[in-house]
Structure 1
Amino acid sequence: MSERMSAREAITAVATAFEELEVVDGDFPQDGPLAWSGYGTSRARATERTGEKESVICGLATVEGRPCVLLSFEFGFLGGSLGQRTGDRLEAAYEMARERRLPLVSLIATGGSRMQEGMLALTQLQRVARQSTLLREAGLPQIAVLRDPTTGGGWATLGAGADVILALPGAQIGFAGSRVRPADADPAAYGAQGQLAAGQIDAIVRTQDLRTVLAGWLTLLAGAGHCGPAPVPAPFGASGLPADGWEAVTRARSPERPRAESYLDAYFPHRQALSGDRCGGVDPGMLCGFGLHKGISYAYAAQTGTATTPAGYRTAARLIRLADRLGIPVLTLVDTPGAANDAAAERAGQGAAIADAFAALASARVPVTTLVIGEGGSGGALALTSPDRTWVTADSYFSVIAPELAAAILKRPESEVRSTASQLRLRPQDLVELGVARGVLGA
């Protein structure tokens, strides 16, 4: 189980400066809106025990020089539950973030809605959802840090609704709290590690690393308003152009060819990853995140040479839409033999996932730059390819279909695969001549 911190201990762990926002409380009956017997006494005991008037603290913060609006839950105050006054404070924090054009960071530890306020407590989730939507429309990022526990409506709004979701090791995370889960439920599904594996959070971060990681994210996501396209990455060496189509395919499939990790390492001195499609899946062959190149923030989605799964396309679409909302240009690195075509991929909605990636890229208002660094396998590669800013390396190819499959569909013998590859005009120089790519790098 994760170490439990108070709200102010959590603030101290991440913020180098903090100025609390004072919220003026209106009239509130002693035992709340439902006249719940003993509720007032419980609140008084919670205040005496924690020193807080409510389950959340919010204010202006600085995280290693990066300003933000910060809110932190006090689990010791009635289990960090959300009531009407909690909603007032959360709404005030979101409004401050919009007014000051600042990111919102949430340090969450909550058991959900407060039973003693009934449906009036539950409707605070609608207030939070509305404020979160307004912040997204304003082009401002939201970062959530999930402490132990983060359950119920707090997870389903503040937590899961954030753009970047980090969790402390061992934190309980799930819509169902520990007392309302099925008796036979797998406990791993409700923990930070299980949620990471299921694509629901982006990273697990140790408390001692949290300030540095948050500062990095605040730096990367503060690039709104920059409209210049991402520069094309430099190629690795000069390998010359392939003589025919089959040579292009062979070179692109070579295990010695540089892969996406090498390009990303060379391009970004600092980068942080987004992980997961928020639908239950993670594709390790799709690398997504944000990085700094010559001091400017860019988003990236990079294939690593494997067949891309539905989770990969959904993660890339999520990345592109977030970057577009924040005004951050996108770089894509294309390298896949094609979309995964097994039964598991079809059951997971491969067609819809590819369509969503196409739609995200087509609707992006920020410039998208693409470099094809290896295999460009059919629509599975095209879904991540810019329609007007694409370059190719000398050891890459792009084809409507793999030459072996083209030969099979055309009922040609295996001996004609090589000639079919040339007929497909898939070489880097062919792609430039056809107008598919702007130029060849590393020739």
Structure 2
Amino acid sequence: MPDHSANNGPRTTARQAIGLVTDAFTEHSPPPLPGGSAAPDGPLGWEGYDASRARAAGRTGEEESVVFGEADVSGHRCALLAFEFGFLGGSLGRRTGDRITAAYRLARERRVPLVSLVATGGSRMQEGMVALRQLQRVARESVLLREAGVPHVAVLRDPSTGGGWATVGAGADVILALPGAQVGFAGSRVRPPDADPAAYTAEGQLAAGHVDAVVPAGELRGTLARWVAALARPAPGPVPPPAALTDGGTGGTGGLPGTGWDAVRRARDPRRPRAEAYLDAYFSYRLPLGGDRCGGTDPGLLCGVGVREGRGVAYVAQCGTATLPAGYRTAARVIRLADRLGLPVLTLVDTPGAANDAEAERTGAGAAIAETFAAVAAARVPVTTLLIGEGGSGGALALAAPDNTWTTPDAYFSVIAPELAAAILKRPPEDAPHTAEQLRLRPQDLLELGVVRGIV
């Protein structure tokens, strides 16, 4: 049901929101009503419904709670829909559903990105189940948009709650939010009285992995333009691996390690270049995607879309820590998104292995790793992998392209860490260097074994 309660920050009208992010907007007319007219007081004959709609129209100047049409976002053509919260709380009724589904179809038919500016309190009570069923219509259009490979970027305004959040908002490929916006399936009047209010904010949803970025209003136009450009212009073909970065800490990357233990020590050197340095050198700019959409995040994994030579490339990069189940689920999500939109993928491998503590097991380590293996295996877009540090067992291999993995000289790849291998073989800890030699984990060994295509 719509929530008309007080908000956490200033609200914008639909027209103000459109003006905030577009250079030009051409409104489209809604589809004609079946039979030419609506039933008096709506499908339920709810007393006073027509009068409420008329008052809402008088206050807002809008005929419904959604405006849609074609827009120019910094030179990029888009289909756009914007909710008007002042019209019955931005609630969804049958005519709202007509407009939303028309916007999705417009994006699909024109093959231009869809931008949704969400501000809604939920489904319209005065239309009962007829209103609630609009969520199924929106879900179907969302599926068709994905099948067509057309990107969808949602901007969550205040408030974004109920079915509008659970379909238009949460169903988007990229989810941005304005600071302080109320975001959650339950509006403030229907959630438990002892609920933590922070969980229902844009910032809380970001921390829980349900939102990709919280963007101040003054930066929204530029951020949205960069996203639209990156998603709409994928890089052609497989991308080359990044060049190896040199650093004084390891004496440079020109030479190869002499022994297996040397390779392990170089990969573990804290002064070695890490994922962020590689990404910054490789891309003109990066747009982050964060969270597994299941309530989890992994600060040791960087994901998103980067722009290289004006074209979009999806990336997943491990940062040298044990990867959490949420990290693998986020990686799989990003790889599947890239596959739908035709974006090539770059992965950077650097982990001692998957997290293996009790919490990792409780949150589904095995299933999450399997999901990542499957996403890489199923990808129709080219995947390029560069091993930049530690390659610890299956937790590292899950992100490696089967036939297009490269390595730097400061890296190793192994079926298991040398210390753990020695322990399994009941060898003393001081035997780890010898075990490392037996594992043949050096870059040159990996090349000879056919595990990698080359040493960059």
User: Into which bin does the TM-score normalised by the smaller protein fall?
Assistant: over 0.9
Name the residue aligned to 1:296.
311
1:139 lines up with 2:149 in the alignment = yes
Report what 2:403 is aligned to: 388
User: Structure 1: which amino acid aligns with 2:424?
Assistant: I
Equivalence map 1:109-124=2 (5 Å): 109-124=119-134
Written as runs of structure 1 = structure 2, the 5 A alignment for 1:420-431 is: 420-431=435-446
State the partner residue of 2:249: none
Q: Map 1:260-275 onto structure 2 (within 5 A).
A: 260-275=275-290
Would the aligned equivalents of 1:25 and 1:85 in 2 still touch at CA under 8 Å?
no
Please tell me whether residue 242 in structure 1 is matched to residue 257 in structure 2: yes
Partner in structure 1 of residue 432 of structure 2: 417
Distance (whole Å) between structure 1 residues aligned to residue 127 and residue 170 of structure 2:
24
Any conservation in 2 of the 1:32–1:40 contact (CA below 8 Å)? yes
Q: 1:315 aligns with which of 330, 333, 348?
A: 330
Q: Distance in 1 between matches of 2:94 and 2:301?
A: 42
CA distance in 2 between counterparts of 1:414 and 1:281 reads 35
Matches within 5 A, 1:21-420: 21-26=28-33, 27-224=37-234, 226-237=235-246, 238-420=253-435
Distance 1:64 1:241 in 2: 47
Instruction: State the distance in 1 between where 2:363 and 2:448 align.
Output: 37
Match of 1:19 in 2: 26
Q: State the alpha-carbon separation in 1 of the partners of residues 224 and 77 from structure 2.
A: 11
CA distance in 1, matches of 2:208, 2:30: 38
Deviations 1:52-101 (A, max 9, x none): 00000000001000110010000000000000000010111111111100
Measured in 1, the distance between the counterparts of 2:85 and 2:40 equals 21
Q: Percent identity?
A: 70
**1:269 Cα shift?**
1.1
TM-score, normalised by the number of residues in structure 2: 0.96
In 1: Cα distance, 2:161 partner to 2:308 partner = 37
Cα distance in 1 between the residues matched to 2:120 and 2:32: 21
1:2–1:168 Cα contact (<8 Å) kept: no
Q: Following the alignment from structure 2 to structure 1, what is the Cα–Cα distance between the partners of residues 363 and 136?
A: 30
Asked whether the equivalents of residues 227 and 366 of structure 1 are also in contact (C-alpha less than 8 Å), the reply is no
Answer with 321-330 or 231-240: which moved more.
231-240
Q: How far is the alpha carbon of 1:30 from its aligned partner?
A: 2.7
Letter in 1 for 2:304: G
Alpha carbons 2:31, 2:99 under 8 Å: kept? no
- Provide the aligned C-alpha RMSD in A: 0.8
Letter in 2 for 1:439: G
Q: Describe the SS at the equivalent of 1:178.
A: coil
Q: What do residues 226-275 of structure 1 show as CA deviations (whole Å, max 9, x unaligned)?
A: 54101110111333000110000000000010000000000001110001
Tell me how far apart the structure 2 counterparts of residues 24 and 358 of structure 1 sit (CA, whole Å).
44
Q: Aligned equivalents of 1:9 and 1:233: distance in 2?
A: 42
Q: Are the equivalent residues in 2 in contact too, given 1:227–1:367 (CA < 8 A)? A: no
- Corresponding letter in the other structure for 1:352: A
SS in 2 for 1:221: helix
Contact kept, 8 Å, 1:220 with 1:292, in 2: the verdict is yes
Query: What residue ranges of structure 2 are gaps of 5+ in the alignment?
Result: 1-7, 247-252
Query: In structure 1, the residue corresponding to 2:291 is in which secondary structure?
Result: coil
Q: Report how far residue 29 of structure 1 moved.
A: 1.8
Alignment: residue pair count: 440
Superimposed CA distance per residue, residues 266-303 of structure 1 (whole angstroms, 9 cap, x where no aligned partner): 00011100010000011011100111112221110000
Aligned counterparts of 2:13 and 2:139: Cα–Cα separation in 1: 25
Whether contact under 8 Å (2:31, 2:98) holds in the other structure is: no
Q: Could you say if the C-alpha distance between residues 21 and 260 of structure 1 is closer, same or farther in structure 2, counting changes exceeding 3 Å?
A: same
Query: Could you list the per-position Cα deviations for residues 169-195 of structure 1 after superposition, in whole angstroms to 9, with x for gaps in the alignment?
Result: 000011111100001101011011110
Q: Secondary structure at 2:117's aligned position in 1?
A: strand
Aligned counterparts of 1:70 and 1:190: Cα–Cα separation in 2: 25
| Corresponding letter in the other structure for 1:54 | E
CA positional deviation for 1:223: 2.6
Instruction: Look up the SS of the partner of 1:316 in the other structure.
Output: helix
Instruction: Give the superposition deviation at 1:427.
Output: 0.3
Structure 1 runs (4+) greater than 3 angstroms displaced: none
Deviation at 1:431, TM superposition (A): 0.2
**What is the distance in 2 between the residues matched to 1:253 and 1:340?**
17
In structure 1, distance between residues paired with 2:120 and 2:168:
10
Could you say what secondary structure the match of 2:288 adopts? strand
Contact 2:120 2:160 in 1 (8 A): yes
Give the Cα separation in 2 of the matches to 1:32 and 1:154. Answer: 20
In structure 2, relative to structure 1, the CA distance for the partners of 1:431 and 1:85 (3 Å cut) is same
Give the conservation status (yes or no) of the 8 Å contact 2:31–2:102: no
For residue 416 of structure 1, report the CA deviation from its aligned partner. Answer: 1.1
Distance 1:223 1:316 in 2: 21
In structure 1, C-alpha distance between the alignment counterparts of 2:100 and 2:160, rounded to whole Å = 16
Distance, in Å, in 1 between the alignment partners of 2:154 and 2:414 is 41
